[in-house]
Structure 1
């Protein structure tokens, strides 16, 4: 059987930068543009990004539009429009204020970071790629203001876990590089399985990390990086593959809003395919005997992170241990269901433990099996 190589695309900061570059070029030379060249910085590569529209909208102001193309990913930003409004900044005569050459603002659809004074959620890589590409087009002394707008950002954000990480009312310009690897494309699963097979040949115990936060935190705890396996959302097939490759034990290490799905029997954790986080959390609240009014409150919250925060507030106020009891029950069930999943589909017995952390990367719970495995690993 022949598999087509999954197509990579570009991250949102790249398209925001392309729109800004197109708008600045219009201010310099008002003429139609079909595409612009963008230096991705990371990796060191220059690419052509299509421009959908560009036009002047007032004296010293231009707006350009492009559309997101993340490649062969299950990405909710696919084909979403990205606008960039660029305007010249007139010289400010006040000696107390000297504006920077490139001021970057978040407009409609760009989230705000509540833990950073409501600053626009435009992170380091996005700032870098914008400043470096735009800076090359400015003459000495010239200054511009760039406003990035995601017209569909507010609506799309409601389908993400952004709020759990303190980003409200829009999407983030997030990422550490320009190329969007097709982590959700089915053909990529083969690469994950090859890495797993290689590591399984060297270690009896492996640590499955759903994302970069888990990889980073696991390494900081002292776990051998050679035993870490990034799974993205492919937990189910990789659990079965681990059994097939004779792995004896697995430590699941991830954000509670992802791993909680396993307690409900959801083994592909991408939100496009299945969610149920609050339903699962509420069910385990019922199992340990939380009052109905508390469960109704948790069920109505927008995120699992909000549910965890609410349980912590109850514990702090009443001296209870609901977080430990609820999440202890969830972690135990994750261990059980994961082992059963491997046994039922792969006919192997594998010991599974789970550790969950919150959005601040603080560990919420370790199952009993996980605590034993972590002791051995560290």
Structure 2
């Protein structure tokens, strides 16, 4: 019986992008837009339906003063709690005068709603203001994708939204300001089922996505897909594999070692099961490469790294700090960090090195325990901020064997 091909979906970021593009068109034309095509960060195009359109007019005005519309989130075969929610974008012309060059923005901010005041003192006025409304979380702790006080709309979705606003303004020659407010009414309720409150994102969901596409994560089907990928990589009688949880690892391997994505097995959260399958396929050696935020869990023996099973990153980081001889008060402070990058930022270079040495020792121990000594295994981990953070003893040897086998 053929295996089911899992349907892809699209992210909340893509929904926000499409709703914004449609709303901008309606703002400038006054004509309803019920379908819209958007270009995603990697060049893919999607056509999405626009729903719940609302246009508000001033008296005697032919064009709307404000437009709100939504896109219904489709997660494909991914078991995502946001599947089916409506992601809204409200756009409005900002008619306040733009401050002259060099003028402090403080007066401008004070004239706006209170949530704009935090932008006071910026050197350059940004005529496009993107914010979160109902159901979008607000960042309350440092170390996340956005600064404290900002709406939890991540960097790439912000770029996607901004692109649509800029292109719409350029097309009609509009040079004034635009306010964009993204909202997910169901987000207040759904956020309670996520780790957002624990991470310091209060009041709603995050608007996420780096590619705009949701790849399916149905557990058994995904494990089957990993196995198929592995068999393809081993079809030429290769005996060494490199596995990576996701896109960060793939990008790192290409940049650091010129290893192409098609030569890497993407294991998602299923590190342990992927290692088991590699042993079953007779692999001689496997290198695991990934971001510290994911792989730090392996240092605790956690082989399924999805947050619903375990999120002890800061506990493991603090423990490694104590093992490295870091002061107990400072080690305890790591427990209040929300990301590994945030914790690493609080360390000196020497402290980072010592902590990572301890974490790599633990990763190696647990991975060797998993393989029972029947297969060589190594790890290389990195941070987008600090680059390569650590390698186990056999990491370089395994990379060399992998490259040599394919040369």
Q: TM range, normalised to the smaller chain?
A: 0.7 to 0.9
Aligned to 2:48: 48
- The aligned runs of 1:260-275 (5 Å cut-off) are 260-275=296-311
1:17-74 superposed Cα distances (whole Å, 9 cap, x missing partner): 332244345544476x7x4232446565442335245342766112223343322224
- The aligned runs of 1:203-218 (5 Å cut-off) are 203-218=238-253
1:71 to 72, 76, 91: 76
1:230 aligns with 2:266: yes
Shift of 1:352: 1.2
Please provide the CA RMSD for this pair. 4.2
Aligned to 1:190: 224
1:232-263 superposed Cα distances (whole Å, 9 cap, x missing partner): 22212211111111111111111111001112
Structure 1: runs of 5 or more not aligned = 97-101
Aligned to 1:341: 370
Cα distance in 1, alignment partners of residues 44 and 392 from structure 2: 43
Structure 2: runs of 5 or more not aligned = 59-63, 102-125, 140-144
- The aligned runs of 1:1-378 (5 Å cut-off) are 3-24=3-24, 26-27=26-27, 28-29=29-30, 35-40=34-39, 45-52=45-52, 54-56=54-56, 60-75=65-80, 77-88=82-93, 104-108=128-132, 109=136, 113=146, 121-123=154-156, 126-127=160-161, 130=164, 134=168, 139=172, 145=178, 147-150=180-183, 152=187, 159=195, 171=206, 174-176=209-211, 178-183=212-217, 185-202=219-236, 203-225=238-260, 227-310=263-346, 312-313=347-348, 321-343=350-372, 349-360=374-385, 362-377=387-402
Cα distance in 2, alignment partners of residues 159 and 241 from structure 1: 30
Q: Describe the SS at the equivalent of 1:247.
A: coil
Cα distance in 1, alignment partners of residues 193 and 209 from structure 2: 13
1:268-307 superposed Cα distances (whole Å, 9 cap, x missing partner): 1121332111122223333344333222211222222222
Q: 1:18–1:37: 8 Å Cα contact kept in structure 2?
A: yes
Q: What TM-score do you get using the length of structure 2 for normalisation?
A: 0.71
Q: What TM-score do you get using the length of structure 1 for normalisation?
A: 0.76
Against the structure 1 CA distance between its residues 127 and 103, is the aligned structure 2 distance closer, same or farther, given a 3 Å change threshold?
farther
Q: Describe the SS at the equivalent of 1:274.
A: coil
Against the structure 1 CA distance between its residues 243 and 327, is the aligned structure 2 distance closer, same or farther, given a 3 Å change threshold?
same
Q: 2:249–2:291: 8 Å Cα contact kept in structure 1?
A: yes
1:115-141 superposed Cα distances (whole Å, 9 cap, x missing partner): xx99974438615862598579x6566
Cα distance in 2, alignment partners of residues 323 and 204 from structure 1: 34
1:69-114 superposed Cα distances (whole Å, 9 cap, x missing partner): 3222244644554221222466989998xxxxx9643202487745
Shift of 1:215: 1.4
Aligned to 2:106: none
Q: 2:6–2:77: 8 Å Cα contact kept in structure 1?
A: yes
Cα distance in 1, alignment partners of residues 156 and 146 from structure 2: 10
Q: 1:122–1:172: 8 Å Cα contact kept in structure 2?
A: no
Q: 1:60–1:87: 8 Å Cα contact kept in structure 2?
A: yes
Q: How many correspondences in the alignment?
A: 354
Against the structure 1 CA distance between its residues 184 and 308, is the aligned structure 2 distance closer, same or farther, given a 3 Å change threshold?
farther
> Which deviates further from its counterpart, 13-22 or 330-339?
13-22
Against the structure 1 CA distance between its residues 129 and 9, is the aligned structure 2 distance closer, same or farther, given a 3 Å change threshold?
farther
Q: 1:53–1:66: 8 Å Cα contact kept in structure 2?
A: no
Q: 2:9–2:76: 8 Å Cα contact kept in structure 1?
A: yes
Cα distance in 1, alignment partners of residues 296 and 332 from structure 2: 19
> Which deviates further from its counterpart, 80-89 or 349-358?
80-89
